[in-house]
Amino acid sequence: MAKTSNLENHDQEKVAVVMVPLPAQGHLNQLLHLSRLISAYHLPLHYVGTTTHTRQAKIRVQGWDPHSISNIHFHEFSTPSCEIPPPNPQSSTKFPSQLMPSFHATCHLRDPITSLLRELARCNKRVIVIYDSLIAWVLQDAPFIANVECYSFRSISALNIHSLALEFAGKSTEPNLPSIEGCFTQEFSEFSRVQTEFRELVNSGDLYNSCYEIEGLYLDLLAKEKSASHKQWAVGPLNPVIPYDKKDSNKRHKCLEWLDKQEPNSVIFVSFGTTTSLSDNEIEELAIGLEQRQQKFIWVLRDADKGDIFTGDVRKVELPKGYEERVIGRGLIVRDWAPQLEILGHLSTGGFMSHCGWNSCMESISMGVPIIAWPMHSDQPRNAFLVTNVLKIGVVLKDWALREELVTSVMVEECVKRLMDSVEGDKMRERAVELRQSVVDGGGSHKEMDSFITHITR
């Protein structure tokens, strides 16, 4: 992991970095991966959050062991207990409202984080805070600590950020771009508005989990609209980009052993992330479509996360009677936490049916796997647009304009065939592999990360 470059000439031992993630899996994961990259520059790294969510981040991270890096320090703080509602798979909107109590509870992190920053500021030349853009309110005391600088981490695509900025300014966006109608709840929109106000008070620059090979057009547009003093760095992909598989480990997930027995590019991986629960009707139609197509598949079938994943019962999703027996040898149902990065990096995986969360998009792109896009909420419809219309490495299963209509088994069957068994799908796979190679060769974790480290250790 040791990073060697001319950056070693800087007085780095007097610069400390603090990570402040939002307590949702996609956000926790991205900032923990970023911690790994920055720690390679021999800077002390402090990852802060609630006890529950820090534990969640550490046990779910893939591609490396957080306990193996000596200069990453975890600070776990408690917040008052709050009611933790279960996800509602039958809700008319897919947005994960069950996470909102955890988001609101982060206001109680303000005092312990301020205390930590003051302690670090006393013994470091500079303290760099990288905070999720949706948790800016915990840093409202940071401007009063002389040697603290705060940088906003944007956990969504540059396309999303740019198009939202245009809309809020009353300007027109790219043609055919999906509407944000139905993407968020009013409660979340108000929460986000509050964070934006605090972000404007503390922000010294922006970091993106993206790179110019993927989103160069939109990154350039964002840079053009900022003042000369406002800096940005595209430091993605944050996840390890070399396929990682613990083949000699007894901790290896059973699904990887099943994948070992399949032909290259023969398996479709089906997973909708940690913030989506499918309805009973959606599960039935998806199950029938996969069975009728007779394409080999791995399907991660689990409910969305609660605010605390370690407490309470988890809904056991029901499949059609006898389904798992009928698909033995051709399909594998996974009901626990699955190693998504390792599955995508496996040679047998030829496609990914996904909700198009930005974490999943970046992991799929960095592993060279094309996508069947079924967006559910938040930034996902526009991520799906990026994957299918701009990068052309995916097909749309459900158009966002038709989000209230049920995805049928016929739609599933046709989309799987289109991606996995057609000349069009083969070309998408080729483009995905080419894009992956360009990302691996020149991604932001190289020159852009060097630039950011040079800046904070100046």
Tokens of 297: 């598949």
Order of strands, sheet of 203-208, starting from the edge strand that comes earlier in the sequence: 72-77, 45-50, 15-20, 126-132, 148-154, 203-208, 231-234
Query: Strands, DSSP E only, in 317-356?
Result: 331-334, 349-354
Catalytically annotated residue among 33, 46, 53, 132: 132
Catalytically annotated residue among 27, 53, 355, 377: 27
Spatial distance between the Cα atoms of 64 and 116, rounded to a whole number of angstroms = 27
pLDDT score of 2 = 42
pTM for this model (two decimals): 0.93
Query: Strands, DSSP E only, in 278-397?
Result: 296-300, 331-334, 349-354, 371-373, 394-396
Q: Which residue has the tokens 């779910």?
A: 60
Using DSSP bridges, classify how beta strands 296-300 and 267-271 pair: parallel, antiparallel or unpaired.
parallel
Q: What amino acid is encoded at 338 in this protein?
A: A
Q: Which residue has the tokens 């027109």?
A: 172
Burial class (CB in 10 A: 0-12, 13-18, 19+), 243: middle
Q: 131, 152 in Cβ contact below 8 A? A: yes
Spatial distance between the Cα atoms of 416 and 407, rounded to a whole number of angstroms = 13
Beta-carbon contacts of residue 396 (< 8 Å; ≥ 6 apart)? 373, 384, 388, 415
CA distances from residue 448 to 98, 151, 152, 454, 455 in whole angstroms, order as listed: 36, 15, 15, 10, 11
Beta-carbon contacts of residue 357 (< 8 Å; ≥ 6 apart)? 26, 273, 275, 378, 379, 380, 383
Return the SS3 of 198: helix
Nearest residue to 202 via CA among 290, 263, 284, 133? 133
pLDDT score of 313 = 80
Tell me, rounded to whole angstroms, the distance of Cα 66 from its chain centroid.
Answer: 18
For the question of residue 67 being annotated catalytic, the response is no
For the question of residue 132 being annotated catalytic, the response is yes
- pLDDT digit string (tens) for the chain, length 458 residues: 444 344 444 445 699 999 999 999 999 999 999 999 999 999 999 999 999 999 999 999 988 889 889 999 999 999 888 788 889 988 889 999 999 999 999 999 999 999 999 999 999 999 999 999 999 999 999 999 999 999 999 999 999 999 999 998 888 888 899 999 999 999 999 999 999 999 999 999 999 999 999 999 999 999 998 877 789 999 999 999 886 656 656 678 999 999 999 999 999 999 999 999 999 999 999 999 999 999 999 999 999 999 999 988 878 888 999 999 999 999 999 998 899 999 999 999 999 999 999 999 999 999 999 999 999 999 999 999 999 999 999 999 999 999 999 999 999 999 999 999 999 999 999 999 999 999 988 755 688 999 999 999 99
Q: Which residue has the tokens 């994960």?
A: 96
Spatial distance between the Cα atoms of 240 and 103, rounded to a whole number of angstroms = 28
269 beta partners: 298, 352
Tokens of 444: 């932001």
Spatial distance between the Cα atoms of 302 and 274, rounded to a whole number of angstroms = 8
pLDDT score of 443 = 55
* Domains observed in the chain: 14-238+441-455 (3.40.50.2000), 252-437 (3.40.50.2000)
Spatial distance between the Cα atoms of 206 and 150, rounded to a whole number of angstroms = 9
Burial class (CB in 10 A: 0-12, 13-18, 19+), 29: buried
In the DSSP assignment, the letter for residue 113 is H
Return the SS3 of 211: coil
Integer-rounded Cα Rg, in Å, for the chain is: 22
